[in-house]
Structure 1
Amino acid sequence: MFWFHWKHPIKIAIIVALCVGCWFAFSPVAQKVHLGLDLQGGLRALVELEPTHDVPKIDAGILDEELQVLQTRLGGLGVSELTFEKVGADRINIEMPGLKDPEQAIKLIREAAVLEMRPLSSEQLAKGQNNSAALYKEAGPAIITGADISHATVGTDPGGAPAVEFTLNSAGAKKFYEWSSKNVGKPLPIFLDQKLIEAPTIESAISNNGEIHGGFTQDSSIRLANELNAGALKVPTKILETESVGPTLGRIDLQKSLVASLVGLGVVLLFMLVVYRVPGLLADLALVVYCFLMLAYVSLFGVVLTLPGIAGFVLSIGMAVDANVLIFERIKEELWGGRTTRAAVGVGFKRAFWTVFDSHVTTILGAVVLYWLGTGTVKGFALTLLVGTVLSLLTAVNITRSFVDVVVDKDLATAPALYGV
């Protein structure tokens, strides 16, 4: 008895609470919804890992390690929506939306960043001052490498120029102290990718901290600090292709997509209202709830919205409308057959359910296959379509039904003409 009297207020209260929760989840939209490369500009790079004498074959382990190094390096650029995707056995597709300095990113991808501190005599340094390759060959075994550095940050030298400050791990600190305590007054050249960047003189025993000067700019010091924190690449990288999208072009695409989506949504809402009248209005309300749910999903799960993703979203709106059309046409048939409005609504929803369910399941299966076999933008489209179709089934069958039941049970609109008959 309690449920009979209170079921409609409870259902409406749940729907309202759901909408309020969604609103807090995605508001403000500009901060909560992350835009992809094609909508805010940035850089996409397809990177190939090249085998070497020491690493003759690129296996899954090497691919994972190099991907992790690149993630850490590029993460230091302050790009929050970085995406990395393995392509085949030896390639990585990297998308960096919102990137303001593509050249810096390309250098981070290309440079191996093998840092080595190798001993040389003052005479050797003076003799080969302008020949890094010859000095590297003459230098002794590395005392310290990038693997011995636990953390690196950007600092300044006594003259105020950019420098890189580093902290050694316990093993590196022990090695450095033992060597430096025995070689006070001697130079210790620092090589980066076999190129001499500076040759400081050891003035006293050094334990766990140090500083690298090398005529750095602010950008190059930031890049080296990022590379040291991420670690060196084990194999060379080759950039096969790059695609740069300017922020202005991305903004134009976003504006066009939003206008197209809003115009399409407006036409659909108007069509439902004109053709199906009261049920159409209720379906429009359910469609608004659906949009709230989709925006909440995009915000809560950190989905990066791209043009294909927007296409999947719009297509799933079509699925939601299609479901309502099937149900309302069935209700009209029952009204034409002489049933009362209450009976026509009950029978219409019941008989149209399996048709609606089957059409949604078919779309869901297609989206799953696309996601499983697709890559990149195809996956983004498939995932948005998949989630959108599931939510459209929920709104069409449950939320629209709740709205219609309230109107019919409370005798707010019972005339067949109000149902498009």
Structure 2
Amino acid sequence: MKSRVRSTILFIICVLVIGFLGYSGVYGVNAGGYRLKSFGEVINRGLDLQGGVSVLEEIQGDNVDQETINKTIELISMRVNKMGVSETVVTREGQKRIRIEIPGKFDAKEIEEGIAKTGELKFVGPDKSTILTGKDVKKASAYINPEDAQPTISLELNDQGAKKFADATQKFMGQTISITMDDQELTSPTVQAHITNGKATISGSKSLEEATRQANIINSGALPVTVKPVETKTIGASLGANALPLSILAAKVGIAIVMLFMILYYRIPGILASIALVLYIYIVLLAFASVNVTLTLSGIAGFLLTVGMAVDASILIFERMKEELKSGKSVRAAIDAGFHRAMSSVLDSNITTIIAGVVLYGLGSGAVKGFALTLIIGVALSMVTAITVTRLLIKLAAGMGWFKHKWSIGTFGVHDFRRGAK
């Protein structure tokens, strides 16, 4: 009796927590002046769901190395972010091409002109005078300073720049010199020494990644590259606005059909698997929001496929449980054996899907990458919910006495149904 009461209390708590998470994920929750936002408010949406401009730029020139491409991507990212648009995506495609996706903007010509112009790097003194330009910079690189273990930028100037910088550091000793790109400030280091050899270090970066990004932008001013648009697509706001509600409707219908099938065919385990599926959907969408996934139509397709994969794991387990029941085992023994013996099949199917997703993400581009990323995240998390959450709910249900008859596990043939009902 104590075991049944404990199982009942734990089951009710689990259902209430999952129900709360599901509700907050769909509608959001306001409590004590704070708001827990819904996933619709926090997950980034791609161009095909809200409209915008997609530009494919190609770097001109035959000898373009990886470092040059990285510098160009940093510079372009900085420019499109200056437009005041969030959720911009700048990614590499192929060997020399860069894809820029800017949601909410529809003037393709303005965007092309803003991206293609050569960067204007300046070192500006406290009196607003220009000390150096990108032409005076020979090289900038980032490293961890072994003396204080802090991220540092090393700066090397050419002969003309070294002379200008020597005069400036002597004049502005103890004052700040700002480094700007296209009039946007990158950093403002304080002059601490009279530098005459054209070699300086800049400290104050929060991380090596930030220091590397700033060094790349400084190098971009010194090593400008020409980019040319080879493809421009504009998706209207009305088309994007129609795509989102239709996608959400398709997701709701698909998930509802899956749950209905599970409940009708597997009965009590199907109900429990559907409850676990709600938690799975919440966890996946939480992961999307946490890693700033930009959700597109192809990404939604990948997400719905992972829902099917999550249910597939439950089906493998439930069918194995039915086989154990047919062999004459008790319900509790069948549950344990079903999870244990179906585990190899669950792992095999999910791991092979993850491998396929990794290959798609590595070799694909654009929409293919979005599909692959949502597929990888969803399938990896589906194993967690199928192995832990569904098993926990079924064990609690067994502790409450919900599986007194074998037919409660699921549908059998006529002969098996009669034998299970004895």
Deviation of 1:228 (Å)? 3.6
Residues 6-45 of structure 1 aligned to structure 2 (within 5 Å): 23=24, 27-45=37-55
What's the offset of the Cα at 1:417?
A: 2.3
> Is the Cα contact below 8 Å between 1:76 and 1:226 reproduced in 2?
no
CA contact (8 A) 1:59 1:89 kept: no
Query: Deviations 1:331-355 (Å, cap 9, x if unpaired)?
Result: 2222233322222212222221111
TM superposition shift of 1:255: 2.0
Of 130, 141, 147 in structure 1, the residue corresponding to residue 122 of structure 2 is: 147
The corresponding residue for 1:221 is none
Structure-to-structure mapping, 1:20-419, within 5 angstroms: 23=24, 27-51=37-61, 57-112=63-118, 147-149=122-124, 167-168=128-129, 227-229=182-184, 234-419=224-409
Q: Could you say if the C-alpha distance between residues 335 and 110 of structure 1 is closer, same or farther in structure 2, counting changes exceeding 3 Å?
A: same
- State the Cα deviation string for residues 307-348 of structure 1 (Å, max 9, x = none): 111111111111111111111112222223332222221222
Matched residue SS, 2:392: helix
The secondary structure found in structure 2 opposite 1:234 is: coil
Provide the C-alpha distance between the structure 2 equivalents of 1:150 and 1:74, rounded to a whole number of angstroms.
26
SS in 1 for 2:122: helix
Q: When the two structures are superposed, what TM-score results if normalisation uses the length of structure 2? A: 0.68
Q: Once structures 1 and 2 are overlaid, which stretch shifts more, 86-95 or 243-252?
A: 86-95
Aligned residue-pair number? 321
- Contact in 2 for aligned 1:108/1:227 (Cα 8 Å): no
Q: Distance in 2 between matches of 1:93 and 1:342?
A: 55
Residue type of the alignment partner of 2:381: L
Q: Secondary structure at the match of 2:232?
A: strand
- Which range moved further: 288-297 or 255-264? 255-264
Consecutive unaligned residues in structure 2, runs of 5 or more: 29-35, 134-170, 173-179, 185-216, 412-422
Aligned 8 A contact 1:42 1:100 in 2: yes
Deviation at 1:273, TM superposition (A): 0.6
2: distance between equivalents of 1:358 and 1:10? 32
- The alpha-carbon distance between structure 1 residues 338 and 58, as it changes in their structure 2 partners (threshold 3 A), is closer
C-alpha displacement at 1:409, in angstroms?
1.6
Task: Find the aligned partners of 2:10 and 2:125 in 1 and give their Cα distance.
Answer: 58
**Contact (CA 8 Å) 2:259, 2:274: kept in 1 or not?**
yes
Contact 1:19 1:292 in 2 (8 A): no
- State how far apart, in whole Å, the 1-side matches of 2:80 and 2:300 are: 27
CA change 1:19–1:85 in 2 (3 A) is farther
Find the residue that maps to 1:329 and give its secondary structure. helix
- Tell me what 1:203 maps to: none
1:167 and 1:302 map into 2 onto residues whose CA distance is 38
Percent of pairs with identical residues: 36
> 1:5 Cα deviation (Å)?
9.2
Matched residue of 2:105: which SS?
Answer: coil
Conserved in 1, the CA contact under 8 Å of 2:263 and 2:271? yes
> 1:355 is matched by which residue type in structure 2?
S
Return the alpha-carbon distance in structure 1 between the equivalents of residues 96 and 381 of structure 2: 38
Gaps of 5+ in 1: 115-145, 152-165, 173-206, 209-224
Partner AA of 2:230 in structure 1: L
**Secondary structure of the equivalent of 2:85?**
coil
Could you tell me the TM-score, scaled by structure 1's length? 0.68
Partners in 2 of 1:414 and 1:100 — Cα distance?
Answer: 63
Kindly state the Cα deviation for residue 288 of structure 1 after the two structures are TM-superposed. Answer: 0.4
**Structure 2 residue identity aligned to 1:95:** E
Q: What is the distance in 2 between the residues matched to 1:21 and 1:279?
A: 21
Amino acid at match of 1:66: T
Matches of 2:129 and 2:306, distance apart in 1: 54
Partner of 1:119: none
- Measured in 2, the distance between the counterparts of 1:255 and 1:384 equals 19
In the alignment, what sits opposite 2:154?
A: none
d(CA) in 2 for partners of 1:282 and 1:60?
A: 51
Task: Please tell me the residue identity of whatever aligns with 1:94.
Answer: I
Q: 1:415 to 1:69 in 2, by over 3 A?
A: same
Residue 163 of structure 1 is matched in structure 2 by none
Letter in 2 for 1:264: G
For 1:63, the aligned partner's letter is: I
